[in-house]
Protein backbone atom coordinates (compact mmCIF):
# COMPACT_ATOMS: atom_id res chain seq x y z
CA UNK A 1 0.00 0.00 0.00
CA UNK A 2 1.04 3.59 -0.58
CA UNK A 3 1.27 5.56 2.65
CA UNK A 4 0.54 9.26 2.58
CA UNK A 5 3.23 11.51 4.04
CA UNK A 6 2.42 12.75 7.52
CA UNK A 7 3.49 16.19 8.74
CA UNK A 8 4.71 14.73 12.04
CA UNK A 9 6.68 11.89 10.45
CA UNK A 10 10.44 12.33 10.34
CA UNK A 11 12.18 10.43 7.58
CA UNK A 12 13.59 10.27 4.08
CA UNK A 13 12.70 7.90 1.25
CA UNK A 14 16.01 6.05 0.71
CA UNK A 15 14.85 4.04 -2.30
CA UNK A 16 16.05 6.59 -4.91
CA UNK A 17 19.47 6.63 -3.22
CA UNK A 18 19.78 2.84 -3.20
CA UNK A 19 18.97 2.65 -6.90
CA UNK A 20 21.48 5.36 -7.77
CA UNK A 21 18.86 7.85 -8.97
CA UNK A 22 20.21 10.47 -6.56
CA UNK A 23 23.86 11.33 -6.14
CA UNK A 24 23.52 13.61 -3.10
CA UNK A 25 23.41 12.13 0.43
CA UNK A 26 19.88 11.74 1.84
CA UNK A 27 20.78 13.76 4.96
CA UNK A 28 22.97 16.83 5.51
CA UNK A 29 24.30 15.19 8.67
CA UNK A 30 23.90 11.94 10.60
CA UNK A 31 23.59 11.82 14.39
CA UNK A 32 24.06 9.09 17.01
CA UNK A 33 23.59 8.83 20.75
CA UNK A 34 24.35 5.91 23.03
CA UNK A 35 23.96 6.56 26.71
CA UNK A 36 25.63 9.90 27.26
CA UNK A 37 28.01 9.61 24.29
CA UNK A 38 27.03 11.42 21.09
CA UNK A 39 28.40 11.78 17.57
CA UNK A 40 27.68 13.70 14.39
CA UNK A 41 28.92 13.01 10.86
CA UNK A 42 28.78 15.85 8.33
CA UNK A 43 30.66 15.71 5.06
CA UNK A 44 34.15 14.41 5.78
CA UNK A 45 34.00 15.33 9.48
CA UNK A 46 33.05 13.13 12.43
CA UNK A 47 32.78 14.57 15.94
CA UNK A 48 32.46 12.13 18.83
CA UNK A 49 31.70 13.42 22.35
CA UNK A 50 32.17 10.81 25.06
CA UNK A 51 30.22 10.69 28.30
CA UNK A 52 33.40 11.30 30.32
CA UNK A 53 34.03 14.63 28.58
CA UNK A 54 36.56 13.49 25.98
CA UNK A 55 36.09 14.81 22.43
CA UNK A 56 37.37 13.39 19.16
CA UNK A 57 37.29 14.97 15.70
CA UNK A 58 38.29 13.03 12.61
CA UNK A 59 38.49 13.92 8.93
CA UNK A 60 37.32 10.65 7.39
CA UNK A 61 38.54 11.58 3.90
CA UNK A 62 42.18 11.83 5.00
CA UNK A 63 41.95 9.54 8.07
CA UNK A 64 39.32 6.81 7.47
CA UNK A 65 40.69 4.69 10.34
CA UNK A 66 40.21 7.54 12.83
CA UNK A 67 43.81 7.60 14.05
CA UNK A 68 44.37 11.39 14.31
CA UNK A 69 42.25 13.41 16.73
CA UNK A 70 41.99 16.94 15.29
CA UNK A 71 40.09 18.57 18.17
CA UNK A 72 42.98 20.85 19.13
CA UNK A 73 43.76 22.06 15.61
CA UNK A 74 40.20 22.41 14.21
CA UNK A 75 38.35 24.34 16.94
CA UNK A 76 35.99 26.10 14.49
CA UNK A 77 34.90 22.78 12.99
CA UNK A 78 34.39 21.32 16.48
CA UNK A 79 32.27 24.31 17.49
CA UNK A 80 30.14 24.12 14.32
CA UNK A 81 29.50 20.39 14.79
CA UNK A 82 28.74 20.85 18.51
CA UNK A 83 26.06 23.39 17.55
CA UNK A 84 24.51 20.91 15.08
CA UNK A 85 24.60 18.14 17.67
CA UNK A 86 22.93 20.31 20.31
CA UNK A 87 20.21 21.45 17.86
CA UNK A 88 19.54 17.79 17.02
CA UNK A 89 19.44 16.85 20.72
CA UNK A 90 17.01 19.67 21.51
CA UNK A 91 14.68 18.43 18.76
CA UNK A 92 14.47 14.90 20.20
CA UNK A 93 11.78 13.72 22.58
CA UNK A 94 13.04 12.88 26.08
CA UNK A 95 13.66 9.18 26.77
CA UNK A 96 10.76 7.15 28.13
CA UNK A 97 13.03 5.44 30.67
CA UNK A 98 15.81 6.44 33.05
CA UNK A 99 19.36 5.14 33.05
CA UNK A 100 20.44 3.57 36.30
CA UNK A 101 23.54 1.37 36.04
CA UNK A 102 26.93 2.92 35.30
CA UNK A 103 29.50 0.62 33.71
CA UNK A 104 32.98 1.26 32.37
CA UNK A 105 34.29 -0.65 29.37
CA UNK A 106 37.71 -0.62 27.75
CA UNK A 107 37.54 0.26 24.06
CA UNK A 108 40.97 0.03 22.44
CA UNK A 109 42.64 1.39 25.55
CA UNK A 110 40.08 4.16 26.09
CA UNK A 111 37.70 3.86 29.06
CA UNK A 112 34.10 4.15 27.90
CA UNK A 113 31.46 5.05 30.46
CA UNK A 114 27.99 3.71 29.84
CA UNK A 115 24.99 4.34 32.02
CA UNK A 116 22.23 1.83 31.39
- Residue range 53-80: mean pLDDT, rounded: 97
Stretch among 16-20, 40-44, 76-80 having the lowest mean pLDDT: 16-20
The 3-state DSSP class for residue 62 equals: coil
- In the chain, which residue ranges form alpha helices assigned H by DSSP? 15-18, 75-90
For residue 110, name the pLDDT band (cuts at 50, 70, 90).
confident
For residue 105, name the pLDDT band (cuts at 50, 70, 90).
confident
The 3-state DSSP class for residue 111 equals: strand
Give the β-pairing of 37-42 and 45-49: antiparallel
CATH number of this structure's domain 24-115 = 3.30.1120.10
Which pLDDT does position 100 carry in this prediction? 63
Which region holds residue 20: left if phi is over 0, alpha if psi is between -120 and 50, else beta? left
User: Bigger pLDDT: 38 or 96?
Assistant: 38
Which pLDDT does position 53 carry in this prediction? 86
Amino acid sequence: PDLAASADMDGVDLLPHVGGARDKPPHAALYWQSGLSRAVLKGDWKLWLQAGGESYLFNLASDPNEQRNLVASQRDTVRDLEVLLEQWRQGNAPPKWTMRHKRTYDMCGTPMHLTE
